[in-house]
Amino acid sequence: MKQFTMFTLRANLNRQRHAVVYVVTLEDADVKIVEGFLKGDKKDAYIKALEFIQKRAHTIGYPDAYKTSYAASWDMIPNPKLDPWR
């Protein structure tokens, strides 16, 4: 739980970039696909992984205190144009 708190702190310090903390439930096969995306050297690997997660997640959870704002950001990402430091 301590690690989850640190992720939330980091996300809240980067809310201008629509950073969110989330927990999803995926099938084992889908986890392997996401891991494959993240092992790649392609510039858009993280974007492709997030898009896949958004399509395939059975459940998506956010910290209770930030559920509304994180859910709104979740619907807007990934979109590099929203990142003020892109």
pLDDT value, residue 86? 67
Which pLDDT band, with edges at 50, 70 and 90, does 2 fall under?
low
pLDDT value, residue 71? 96
User: How far is it, in rounded angstroms, from Cα 76 to Cα 41?
Assistant: 24
pLDDT value, residue 84? 74
Per-residue pLDDT, averaged over 75-84, amounts to 87
pLDDT at 74 over 70: yes
Number of domains present in the structure of the chain: 1
Location of structure tokens 């092992």: 39
Q: Tell me the two tokens of residue 74.
A: 């979740």
Which pLDDT band, with edges at 50, 70 and 90, does 4 fall under?
confident
Q: Chain centroid to CA 53: how far?
A: 8
